[in-house]
Amino acid sequence: MKRLCVIAGATLLLASGCQMAGTSKESNLLGDQMYQSYLDTSEVSKSENHSSDFALQPATIRNLIPTELDIMQVQSASFQEERDRRQPEIALSNFTLEELEGIALQNNPSIAEAAALVEAAQGNRVQVGLGPNPVLGYSGQQLGSSGQAEQQGVFIGKEFITGKKLGLNQQRASWKVQRAERELEAFRLRVLTDVRVRFYDVLIAQRRRELAGELVGISTQGVEAAQALFMGQEVSEADPLRAKVEADTALILLQTSVNQHVESWRLLTAVLGMPELTLQRLQGDLSEANVELSWQDTLHQVISESPEIAAAYADIEATRWAIQRAYAENIPNVEVQAVIQDDRGTGSTNGNLQVSLPIPFWNRNQGGIRQAHYEAIAAERAVERLTLDLQARLASAFQRYESARNQVDKYSQKDGILDNASRTLELIRIGYRADEYNVLDLLNVQRTYFQANITYLDAQRELWVSVMQIRGLLLTDSLSK
């Protein structure tokens, strides 16, 4: 009789298992646990009743059968654990863009390198203005005359630079200093631009990761809804399976977004000059950039304020002073030498003065003058080339700015794409639970909602990056608003 009761209980459990065919592995595992619980309960009941005629009670059987709530709880916990496992911990530092800019200005080696070149240029300006040192030496004549006609003494000599060459050297070097300073400013803006671009990359990746987590939650709810309808025999076995595939795909997207977040953080820390900095949360506003740009005004501002243009104009001025210096080279310098010596033959002290200067007969520095002229022409052409290059770079950034701004407007406006995607998702989810839509409708609207938000994030990134790149072309680090 006991064996018959056990067989009957197992048969009922098997029947309930057949009813739940097609559910997840978690529900099957739960059924196995329930069956083992039934066996344990049977033994306990047997020992408590001390009866050889144990009767299986209907209430006991109902308690042992996996319910819809049990299955959904197992599945929800499984997806939640998987989602948490795929997301490494993020430190809650809430770095702002201004804080990161300060860190980069202090730690980025390219800025320190450019600053050192400024100091080097300033040192060169001092050096080229210094005249040659005087020369002090020994003079001896008739040294083999056994002291009878020897003349021994000292001399001092000095080269005098003519034609204002030292002043021209300093004028040229001063413009080289200005060029180095403009290049330092360009490096500073380049680093700040890189920090800003990487900052918004991390911010977008951070939001994309959060959005992927939301998608996992939405997909999990879809699995629960499909399972509930299947348990109520309102949909086929295919619905929970399709929902489960969608949820697993969402987990893959979540892992991908985590990897992108980590990569963007590593790129940011490299620009900061602190690659050892651990992954931390950033604080920033991803709302539309509050900058209204027009092509003509921005182009004029870029050409007039670009540090690259300023450095190129400094080169022009330096080459103009180099031309004057090349002509001055043709003016010979004067060398003067004075000698005081003791004449052993006459027992007297005498002096000697020598003045010399080269005669510019064959070498009139004609090659140097020609070189200086053409270097000045090349410097002027370099400004023209750089102006066109800046216009081309601005055109590319401005096109991305206008396209991204238009896309952000369409997505974010009231009753726009995001609003409609969100409302559609909610309506389809409610309708699916009411058996008004099938599971394919639910899965499609989930994908549409997620893709709309991802596209919106990409547009926001493109908008911010293009604005930051335009700002990076300006000497004043500002834009008209």
> Which of 66, 101, 119 is the C-terminal boundary of a domain?
66
Q: Which pLDDT score is estimated for 147?
A: 63
Q: How far is CA 62 from CA 12, 45, 191, in A?
A: 10, 16, 68
pLDDT band at 236 (very low <50, low <70, confident <90, very high): confident
Same structural domain, 276 and 314: yes
480: in domain: no
Question: Any residues with CB less than 8 A from the CB of 320 and at least 6 apart, and which?
Answer: 376
Pick the most confident of 52-66, 85-99, 294-308: 294-308
Alpha-carbon span 61 to 58, nearest angstrom? 5
157: in domain: yes
Q: Which pLDDT score is estimated for 452?
A: 92
The one-letter code for the residue type at 460 is Q
| Reduced DSSP (H G I as helix, E B as strand, rest coil) percent helix, strand, coil of the chain, to 5 | 70, 10, 20
Q: Please, how many CA atoms are within 13 Å of residue 257, restricted to the half-sphere of its CB?
A: 26
Tens digits of residue pLDDT in 326-371: 999 999 999 999 998 887 767 788 888 999 988 988 999 999 999 9
> Which of 50, 66, 82 is the C-terminal boundary of a domain?
66
Task: Tell me: pLDDT of 3 over 70.
Answer: no
How far is C-alpha 225 from the geometric centre of its chain's CA atoms? 41
Tens digits of residue pLDDT in 361-420: 899 999 999 999 999 999 999 999 999 999 999 999 999 999 999 999 899 888 899 999
pLDDT band at 289 (very low <50, low <70, confident <90, very high): low
Same structural domain, 51 and 193: no
Cβ(458)–Cβ(399) below 8 Å: no
Same structural domain, 49 and 166: no
Task: Tell me: pLDDT of 64 over 60.
Answer: no
Same structural domain, 344 and 466: yes
Cβ(403)–Cβ(336) below 8 Å: no
Same structural domain, 29 and 156: no
Q: Which pLDDT score is estimated for 375?
A: 96
pLDDT higher at 439 or 97: 97
Task: Tell me: pLDDT of 477 over 60.
Answer: no
Alpha-carbon span 75 to 224, nearest angstrom? 8
pLDDT band at 290 (very low <50, low <70, confident <90, very high): low
Average pLDDT, the chain: 80
Backbone angles phi, psi at 136, to 5 degrees: -120, 130
Same structural domain, 46 and 138: no
78: in domain: no
316: in domain: yes
Give the pair of three-digit tokens for residue 238. 């295919």
Alpha-carbon span 315 to 179, nearest angstrom? 7
> Which stretch of 141-145, 186-190, 207-211, 242-246 has the lowest confidence by average pLDDT?
141-145
183: in domain: yes
> Which of 12, 33, 66 is the C-terminal boundary of a domain?
66
Same structural domain, 416 and 367: yes
pLDDT band at 63 (very low <50, low <70, confident <90, very high): very low
76: in domain: no
39: in domain: yes
H/E run at residue 287: none
346: domain CATH number is 1.20.1600.10
> Which stretch of 171-185, 221-235, 329-343 has the lowest confidence by average pLDDT?
221-235
Same structural domain, 216 and 305: yes
Alpha-carbon span 203 to 201, nearest angstrom? 5
Q: How many domains does the chain have?
A: 2
Give the pair of three-digit tokens for residue 197. 């671009």
Same structural domain, 38 and 123: no
Q: How far is CA 29 from CA 17, 34, 151, 440, in A?
A: 11, 9, 117, 28
Task: Tell me: pLDDT of 125 over 90.
Answer: yes
Same structural domain, 54 and 132: no
pLDDT band at 34 (very low <50, low <70, confident <90, very high): very low
Q: Which pLDDT score is estimated for 288?
A: 58
Q: State the residue range of the domain holding 30.
A: 2-66
80: in domain: no
pLDDT band at 54 (very low <50, low <70, confident <90, very high): very low
Tens digits of residue pLDDT in 423-456: 998 999 898 888 788 888 888 888 898 899 999 9
Same structural domain, 135 and 273: yes
Backbone angles phi, psi at 431, to 5 degrees: -65, -35
Same structural domain, 288 and 422: yes
